[in-house]
Amino acid sequence: MKKCALFVALLLLGTLAFAQKKTMPDIATVINSKADAIEPKVIAWRHHIHQNPELSNREYETAKYVTAHLEALQLEVRTGIAHTGVVGILRTGKPGPVIALRADMDALPVTERVDVPFASRAKGTYLGQEVGVMHACGHDTHVAMLMGAAEILTGMKDQLRGTIVFIFQPAEEGAPPGEKGGAGLMVEEGVLDDPKVEAIFGLHINSATEVGTIRYKPGGQLAAADIFNIRVKGKQTHGSTPWTGVDPIVTSAQIIMGLQTIISRQTELTREAAVISVGKIASGVRNNIIPEEAEITGTIRTLDTTMQNTIHERIRHVATTIAASAGATAEVEIIRGTPVTYNDPALTAKMLPTLERTAGKDHVELINAITGAEDFAFYAQKIPGLFLFVGGMPKGQDPAMAAPHHTPDFYVEDSGMKLGVRLLCNLAIDYLNGR
């Protein structure tokens, strides 16, 4: 009799558990519902930040805006990291991994031309000049998406374990000359150390990727970005008698052409892409004076450390030998900037099912490496990282017609942010709960 009663009790418990499991919505459905509900707030946050952009290391009001939101969520909040960075910490109270989710806050010295009600009319000072200021790379959407994810995840604290660190980072576009900033300074000031973060995730919206799409690449995804300065010294003379001097402008032109052959004739491009671009040449004061000096400034983009070092050596060799052949001298300075943004292959493989579940397998695309750069790389140098692209282009638009990032006509749809919010939440939940 006792055995029969025990059997019936176990049967009832099993039936109840099955019914609860059947009626309880899965966590993906919960995230989708919460993302739908919070979308109007995310859009409002994005519009506010877009209308009030701030340059690198000057994100004072943006930091206050983010801080107020995180404090309202009753998170542990830290401010003033790397000048204006803000960190919110969600401790679930249950043992588990520590992960970080990151967004960048700074805008660019670009005057907006996009005809939207929330367009920026802001002005700022950049390198001593008054400039328009615009979120011309989508960082406003990154902040809004992470604010949304923070609110959703905080509300689901009881269903999580471990700890989430929400990083709102300044100066991704680079600190002003003479200042330190960005992800490198955040790392230096210990943003990954207390609590000790074991993996980090970041998103970037893209103006030429259709809304609803996620793009990724294991390994080196974005390039290292270095700066070169070449000072060419000649001999000043009258423009009517060039043979009495050494022309640094003509020599600079020859050096510029020589730099291009490093890529086209001396670099193994089947291994990885590489770029050398001259962005500025400055020399002279008057039409009939051949000046004494000229300065060439540009960028180097590489996706392989060995190739990076080789290209640096060849820039020095090309510049100095061409200058010497003209009777001039060349001083070459190369400043190492952002390293390669490297997606940890094991972490990428682990989270790929999350990407496919969030967007649908047909909307997750494996891409080739990109010669743009991202200082998320500094986090990924220290711990496993995964950096992803989400679409911001209106559905059905030709990507060739999308205005590039960093331009006055840059535009991304508000509707692209909901996928980003869902993705950040799902990455966090799946990693923390060991899915």
Query: Per DSSP, which regions of 234-284 are E strands?
Result: 237-238, 274-283
Could you say which of 59, 172, 247, 344 is catalytic?
172
Distance CA 384, CA 379 (A): 8
Helix (H, G, I), strand (E, B) or coil at 284: coil
Contact 226, 334 (CB under 8 A): yes
Helix (H, G, I), strand (E, B) or coil at 76: strand
- On the CB side of 119, CA atoms within 13 Å amount to 14
- Does 188 participate in catalysis according to the annotation? no
Burial class (CB in 10 A: 0-12, 13-18, 19+), 85: buried
Tell me the sheet residues that pair with 81: 85
Query: What residues contact 403, with CB distance under 8 A and at least 6 apart?
Result: 207, 409, 410, 411
Helix (H, G, I), strand (E, B) or coil at 203: strand
Could you say which of 59, 104, 106, 344 is catalytic?
106
Query: What residues contact 100, with CB distance under 8 A and at least 6 apart?
Result: 164, 165, 166, 167, 191, 192, 197, 199, 200, 201, 379
Distance CA 296, CA 370 (A): 25
CA distances from 201 to 88, 154, 251, 344, 380 (A): 15, 17, 46, 11, 9
- Does 375 participate in catalysis according to the annotation? no
**Burial code of 132-164, b = ≥16 C-beta within 10 A, e = fewer?**
bbbbbbbbbbbbbbbbbbbbbbbebbeebebbb
Mark out the alpha helices in 290-406 (DSSP H runs): 305-325, 345-359, 377-382
Catalytically active residues, by annotation: 106, 172
